């Protein structure tokens, strides 16, 4: 189903679609990688686990983890091999396997997710995620 | 949403629904039109008016545009007694701000050396993500910076006492390093003296116009002089502080989230432990931002000394435009202690105010307004009416007109760089995409923003500058 980079007056915004919520999160990773202008040749994997109280918070916390991964490990997020969303007693959990590459040229600095006009919605064609990243 | 014009450049959205106070919009008709085109800027201003403890009115300044929760160009003063703090009212990039350095060089001294200068600055000041910072710091250093900001920089040999004397709050707010989340510290430890990306820049400029010779003289500015403007903030550290405290507030007050017009407006009552922790962490991040801009100042000093054999690079002033501070303002004839949230807004205290540095107390606080890389930037002075109209605040810059994606569709880096070069502006950026995204045409008309600020008497024109060299992240 894919992703689109949307217009935003100051920052970066994307829409990710998938037949399942898992697939939509995979597309969200690809959108994030496109915004950060990371490399294309992944050479390693990272596992990410996030737990949050609702789906919007799950997307916020997951994007926050992608930002942290890039900054603290010095790698560029390139793609996701797999994302699995499950329910927990307190909300939702997300387990993801990310494909990452060394940072060769400085990345575009994605600094934080925001809740601004965030969407996590199920429609007739599957799931749609929308988020704005502070850049 | 109905706007009533009260006087020229002053409009009001009356209280309705959950609003506790009205919204005042300080803008001319052309600027208002752009706010309306964006869709939600004015609505965001009115959402801010729902905050508990907000005083007088929610303020939207002439450069107001769409933000997160708060509009950018928004001001809210909430009572220290019974009010709240909202991280969205300060922004992710805590103490994002601007400083201007004056040199003893004239434009003629720099002409012919622009390429060498922009190359040297680009080499010295890391841009984007992944190149570290100009000043190497370890965890102990970082703790010191978070606690005392510019004082640590001075004691470590990275600042002159005069730098502190010409900085808002002398470059130190009461930061609490223990309240700064661990991941924020990890993000910040190697970023002291780094520009970042987006709209942040380091720009060599020449003073082209003086509007108020006496105040310009007090600021040490003269026509033809070369100055340097730095626009950056607290980098990843500040963003991590904001992001983690938004989540902490949400978890502390789960019922509040559902009642808010915008989740990004989440707040905590002043005096609650989580609010006090946030204030300590936010002030610490503000200290980090001052250290960051100071470190880049040292890089500029190195470049200028190498190429022009002078150490006369002095700080005119350094302003925050994303911060909240405790101040006293007059509301309904009474002095009230308030926490003034300024989101994309510059403090603009007038002559005589005790918080204006001694050097400028007779003329008012310098206000630094960047334009885009092909247009003017301005130095203003805090205006006499700022205390009465805008809680001592004015605009912070031009504000974007076109999205980054639209700018990339409409402009190409090569054409832009060639055109700017023909106008005497040398640009060096991390990527061609950055140049296109930051094209002058992607920004609003800063001249109109300044005209309205001046006409309102909240920030009055002192000097105008044109770019010479621009380094972009």
Residue A118 in contact with partner chain B when CB distance is under 8 A: yes
Q: Is residue B189 part of a domain?
A: yes
The reply to whether B56 falls in a domain is: yes
Which pLDDT score, from 0 to 100, does residue A74 have? 87
Inter-residue contact B408 to B395 (CB < 8 Å): no
The reply to whether B432 falls in a domain is no
**B244 close to B184: Cβ distance less than 8 angstroms:** yes
Answer whether A115 touches B (CB < 8 Å).
yes
Across the interface, do A135 and B126 touch by the CB < 8 Å criterion? no
Burial class (CB in 10 A: 0-12, 13-18, 19+), B258: exposed
pLDDT tens digit sequence for A52-106: 999 999 999 999 999 999 989 989 999 999 999 999 999 999 999 999 998 877 7
Beta bridge partners of residue A79, listed in sequence order: A99
Q: Least CA distance to B247: which residue of chain A?
A: A57
Q: What is the pLDDT of residue B365?
A: 98
Residue of B236, B252, B254 to mutate, interface with A, max A Cβ within 10 Å: B236
Burial A71-82 (b: 16+ CB within 10 A, else e): beeebbbbbbee
DSSP track, B226-246: EEEEEEE--HHHHHHHHHHHH
CA distance A64 to chain B (A): 8
Residue B87 near residue B324 (C-beta atoms within 8 A): no
Count of the separate structural domains present in chain B? 1
Do B197 and A109 make contact, defined as CB atoms within 8 angstroms? Answer: yes
What residues in chain B have per-residue pLDDT under 70? 129-130
Interface touch A132/B68, C-beta < 8 Å: yes
B397 is in an annotated binding site: yes
Q: Can you tell me the mean pLDDT for A39-58?
A: 93
Cβ B239–A111 below 8 Å, yes or no? yes
Among A residues 16-75, those touching chain B with beta carbons less than 8 Å apart: 36-37, 53, 56-57, 60-61, 64, 67-68, 70-72, 74
> Is B472 assigned to a binding site?
yes
Residue B284 belongs to domain spanning: 3-80+94-401+443-472
Enzyme catalytic residues of B: 396
Residue B86, in any domain of the structure? no
Report yes or no on B383 lying in a domain.
Answer: yes
CATH class held by domain A3-134: alpha beta
Contacting residues of A for B69, CB less than 8 Å apart: 116
DSSP sequence for B31-58: HHHHHHHHSSHHHHHHHHTTSTTB-S-E
Which residues does chain A have within 8 Å of residue B400's beta carbon, measured at their own beta carbons? 9-10
Task: Please state, in angstroms and as integers, the Cα–Cα distance from residue A71 to each residue in A66, B250, B423, following that order.
Answer: 9, 25, 37
A74/chain B closest Cα distance in angstroms: 6
**CATH number, domain at B291?**
3.90.1860.10
Note whether A9 contacts B262, CB cutoff 8 Å: no
Tell me how close the Cα of A115 comes to any Cα of chain B, in angstroms.
Answer: 6
Instruction: Please indicate if any CB of chain B lies within 8 Å of the CB of A133.
Output: no
ipTM of this model? 0.92
User: Distance (Å, rounded) from C-alpha A64 to C-alpha A17?
Assistant: 20
Give the model's pLDDT for residue B154.
98
Q: Is residue B108 part of a domain?
A: yes
B65–A116 CB contact, under 8 Å: no
Q: Is B433 part of a structural domain of the chain?
A: no
Question: Quick check: is B194 in a domain?
Answer: yes
Domain residue ranges of chain A, discontinuous segments joined by +: 3-134
């Amino acid at each position: 189903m894919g992703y689109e980079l949307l217009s935003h007056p100051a920052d970066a915004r994307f829409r990710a679609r998938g037949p399942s919520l898992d697939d939509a999160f995979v597309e969200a990773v690809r959108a994030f990688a496109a915004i950060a202008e990371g490399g294309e040749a992944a050479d390693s994997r990272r596992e990410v686990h996030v737990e949050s109280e609702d789906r919007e918070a799950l997307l916020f916390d997951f994007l926050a983890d992608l930002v942290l991964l890039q900054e603290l490990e010095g790698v560029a997020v390139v793609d996701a091999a797999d994302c699995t969303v499950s329910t927990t007693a307190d909300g939702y959990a997300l387990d993801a396997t990310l494909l990452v590459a060394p940072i060769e040229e400085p990345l575009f600095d994605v600094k934080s997710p925001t809740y601004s006009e965030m969407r996590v919605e199920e429609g007739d064609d599957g799931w749609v995620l929308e988020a704005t990243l502070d850049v | 949403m109905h706007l009533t014009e009260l006087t020229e450049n002053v409009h009001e959205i009356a209280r309705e629904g959950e609003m506790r106070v009205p919204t005042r919009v300080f803008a001319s008709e052309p600027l208002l039109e752009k706010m309306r085109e964006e869709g939600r800027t004015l609505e965001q201003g009115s959402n801010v008016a729902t905050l508990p403890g907000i005083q007088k009115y929610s303020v939207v300044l002439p450069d107001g545009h769409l933000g997160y929760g708060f509009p950018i160009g928004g001001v809210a003063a909430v009572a220290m007694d019974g009010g709240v703090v909202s991280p969205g009212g300060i922004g992710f990039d805590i103490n994002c701000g601007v400083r201007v350095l004056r040199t003893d060089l004239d434009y003629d001294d720099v002409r012919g050396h622009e390429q060498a200068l922009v190359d040297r600055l680009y080499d010295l000041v890391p841009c984007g993500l992944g190149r570290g910072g100009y000043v190497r710091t370890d965890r102990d250093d970082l703790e010191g910076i978070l606690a005392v900001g510019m004082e640590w920089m001075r004691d470590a040999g990275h600042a002159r006492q005069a730098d502190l004397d010409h900085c808002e709050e002398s470059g130190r707010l009461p930061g609490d390093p223990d309240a700064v989340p661990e991941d924020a510290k990890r993000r910040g430890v190697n970023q002291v003296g780094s520009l970042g990306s987006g709209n942040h820049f380091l720009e060599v400029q020449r003073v082209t116009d003086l509007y108020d010779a006496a105040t310009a003289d007090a600021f040490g500015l003269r026509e033809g002089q070369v100055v340097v403007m730095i626009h950056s903030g607290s980098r990843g550290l500040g963003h991590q502080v904001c992001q983690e405290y938004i989540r902490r507030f949400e978890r502390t007050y789960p019922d509040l989230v559902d009642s808010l017009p915008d989740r990004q407006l989440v707040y905590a009552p002043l005096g609650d432990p989580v609010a006090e922790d946030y204030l300590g962490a936010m002030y610490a991040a503000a200290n980090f931002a001052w250290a960051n801009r100071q470190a880049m100042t040292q890089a500029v000093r190195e470049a200028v000394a190498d190429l022009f054999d002078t150490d006369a690079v002095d700080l005119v002033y350094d302003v925050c435009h994303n911060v909240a501070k405790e101040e006293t303002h007059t509301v309904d004839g009474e002095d009230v202690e308030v926490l003034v949230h300024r989101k994309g807004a510059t403090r603009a205290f007038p002559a005589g105010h005790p918080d204006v540095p001694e050097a400028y107390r007779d003329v008012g606080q310098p206000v630094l307004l960047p334009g885009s890389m092909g247009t003017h930037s301005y130095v203003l002075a805090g205006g006499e009416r700022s205390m009465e109209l805008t809680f001592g605040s004015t605009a912070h810059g031009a504000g974007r007109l076109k999205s980054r994606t639209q700018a990339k569709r409409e402009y190409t880096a090569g054409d832009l760089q060639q055109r700017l070069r023909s106008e005497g502006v040398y640009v060096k950026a991390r990527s061609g995409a950055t140049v296109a995204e930051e094209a002058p045409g992607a920004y609003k008309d800063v001249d109109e923003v300044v005209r309205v600020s001046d006409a309102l008497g909240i920030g009055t024109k002192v000097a105008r500058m044109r770019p010479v060299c621009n380094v972009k992240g």
